């Protein structure tokens, strides 16, 4: 009985395998590099109203730490933030295994549908060498940091033609200069910086 | 029933051995075996002081030991394939991916490997190493970046290194949050 079930699963897998195409998308590593500006100090002395703006840096590793603090956990060394092709953010260990759904805290939205396309796509075999321009947004929802940043994503995507075994290599890189507004440590914060999404995968066509 | 009764002392002895083993393991692991959250660890490891000056804000991570003598860093990894070949391109991509992954670690070994590649003869690798240094986010890289900048004849590279040093010198959001939490 067990061997019959195994055969059934294997057969189903063989039927499903050809369906794993480029449509499966490319998971990318999320890199964030931001400057956060906030009101560090204000004072009123006589007729002098003075203020001081603080500027701190924020990167993906800090985001990872902040997400860990929200959940009361410490991620394994080498853990990364990854994004699926539909903007779902998750924490992956150094081997790429998903270990936490980070989408309640960090979300990426790709405003695709009105993108500008530069380059060529071979519809027959899926070979692609394109640069796409579209709007993207990064939403942060953490206790000490909230905000939405927007920018133009410039995505370079190269997909090789299938080799003899039908394997295609996809390489994607998206850069975006972003800025936005939010809350830093309970006060108004402004952000600017960049987002990078980079990924590489082998797909079977 | 008789067999069950006979097993009671045996079970009691087994439980006692297990308890003893558990106590021994607990004592050996001590605080290092603590798996509490980063936030909890931070709050317990800090002294109960209220620093007044901005300069006293604790760094995101302590200075990384083992990165004192920068001249002892190994030579950059040499490309094993001839330039222009597909294998060469593939090797560069792989090396860049490795550097990207190293940037997510926090240890001196990983930072050392990244910094080493700032001297790589291939500009793609140097650029990736610069990005990885930025993502690694440690101020321990600054003396090395300054040394590279002084020895570089490329004004663009000097500018990029200068901007990176300036960025790394900024306090981090975590440092500010922790500082405010202490106050």
**A82-104, pLDDT tens digit by residue?**
999 889 999 999 998 999 999 99
Nearest CA in chain A to B96: A198
Q: What is the count of structural domains for chain A?
A: 1
Probe site for chain B from A40, A78, A191, A195 (most B CB atoms < 10 A): A78
Domain span at A14 = 7-204
Encoded tokens for B179: 């500082």
- Whether chain A has a CB inside 8 Å of the CB on B108: the answer is no
Measured CA to CA, the distance from residue A88 to residue B39 in angstroms comes to 25
The residue among B163, B123, B128 whose CA lies nearest residue B145 is: B163
Q: Is residue A38 part of a domain?
A: yes
For A107-161, write each residue's pLDDT tens digit.
Answer: 999 998 889 999 999 999 999 999 999 999 999 999 999 999 999 999 999 999 9
Chain A interface includes B180 (CB < 8 A): yes
**A187-204 and A145-159 strand pairing:** unpaired
Is A2 a domain residue?
no
- Phi, then psi, of B91 in degrees rounded to 5: -65, -40
The low-confidence residues of chain B, meaning pLDDT below 70, are 1-72, 181-183
Alpha carbons B122 and A85: distance in angstroms, whole number? 31
Task: Quote the tokens at residue B61.
Answer: 């991570």
Q: Which residue of A has its CA nearest to B110?
A: A78
How far B145 CA sits from the closest chain A CA (Å)? 18
Is A91 inside a domain boundary?
yes
**Contact present, A94 and A79 (Cβ < 8 Å):** yes
> Are A74 and B167 a contacting pair at CB < 8 A?
no
CA distance A11 to A5: 10
Q: Are the C-beta atoms of residues A64 and A73 closer than 8 Å to each other?
A: no
Who among A56, A73, A200 is closest to B176 (CB)?
A56
- Using CA atoms, how far apart are residues A202 and A96, in angstroms rounded to an integer? 14
Q: Is residue A187 part of a domain?
A: yes
Question: What average pLDDT does the structure give for chain A?
Answer: 87
Six-digit token pair at B55?
Answer: 């300069």
Look at B104 and A79 and tell me if their CB atoms are within 8 Å. yes
Residues of B in contact with A68 (CB under 8 A): 37-39
A1 in a domain, yes or no? no
User: Considering the domain boundaries, does residue A167 fall inside one?
Assistant: yes
- The Cα A33–Cα B132 span in angstroms is 12
Residue A80, CB-side half-sphere exposure with 13 Å CA sphere: 23
Output the pLDDT for position B59: 42
The reported pLDDT for the residue numbered A202 is: 81
Report pLDDT digits (tens) over A6-44: 344 433 333 333 333 333 467 899 999 999 999 999 999
ipTM above 0.85, yes or no: no
Radius of gyration, alpha carbons of chain B: 25
Instruction: Say if CB B58 and CB B179 are below 8 A apart.
Output: yes
Residue A82 within any structural domain of the chain:
yes
Residue of A nearest to B174 (CA): A62
Cβ neighbors of A171 (< 8 A, separation 6 or more) are A157, A158, A159, A199, A200, B93
Judged by DSSP in three states, B59 sits in coil
Chain B residues with CB under 8 Å of A145 CB are 173
CB A34 within 8 A of CB A192: yes
């Amino acid at each position: 009985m067990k061997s019959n079930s195994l055969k059934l699963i294997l057969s189903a897998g063989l039927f499903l395998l050809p369906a794993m195409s480029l449509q499966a998308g490319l998971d990318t590593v999320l890199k964030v590099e931001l400057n956060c500006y906030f009101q560090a100090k204000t004072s009123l002395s006589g007729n002098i109203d003075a203020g001081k703006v603080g500027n701190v840096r924020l990167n993906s590793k800090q985001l990872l730490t902040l997400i860990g603090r929200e959940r009361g956990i410490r991620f394994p060394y080498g853990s990364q933030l990854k994004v699926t092709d539909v903007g779902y953010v998750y924490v992956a260990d150094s081997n790429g295994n998903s270990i936490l759904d980070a989408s309640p805290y960090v979300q990426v939205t790709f405003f695709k549908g009105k993108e500008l396309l530069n380059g060529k796509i071979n519809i027959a075999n899926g070979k692609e060498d394109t640069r796409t321009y579209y709007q993207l947004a990064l939403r942060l929802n953490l206790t000490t940091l909230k905000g939405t940043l927007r920018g133009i994503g410039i995505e370079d995507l190269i997909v090789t033609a299938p080799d003899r075994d039908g394997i295609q290599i996809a390489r994607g890189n998206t850069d975006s200069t972003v800025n936005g507004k939010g809350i830093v440590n309970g006060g108004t914060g402004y952000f600017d910086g960049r987002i990078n999404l980079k990924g590489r995968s082998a797909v079977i066509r | 029933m008789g067999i069950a009764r006979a097993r009671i002392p045996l079970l009691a002895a087994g439980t006692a051995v297990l308890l003893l083993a558990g106590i021994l393991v607990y004592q050996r692991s001590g605080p290092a075996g603590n798996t509490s959250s980063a936030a909890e660890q931070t709050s317990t490891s800090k002294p109960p002081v209220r620093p007044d000056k901005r300069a006293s804000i604790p760094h995101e991570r302590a200075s990384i030991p083992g990165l004192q003598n920068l001249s002892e860093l190994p030579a950059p990894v040499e490309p094993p394939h001839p330039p222009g070949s597909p294998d060469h391109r593939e090797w560069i991509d792989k090396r860049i991916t490795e550097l990207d992954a190293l940037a997510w670690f926090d240890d001196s070994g990983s930072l050392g490997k990244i910094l080493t590649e700032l001297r790589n003869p291939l500009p793609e690798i140097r650029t990736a190493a610069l990005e990885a240094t930025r993502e690694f986010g440690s101020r321990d890289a600054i003396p090395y970046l300054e040394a590279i900048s002084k020895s570089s004849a490329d004004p663009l590279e000097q500018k990029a290194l200068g901007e990176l040093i300036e960025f790394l010198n900024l306090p981090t959001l975590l440092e500010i949050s922790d500082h405010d939490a202490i106050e």
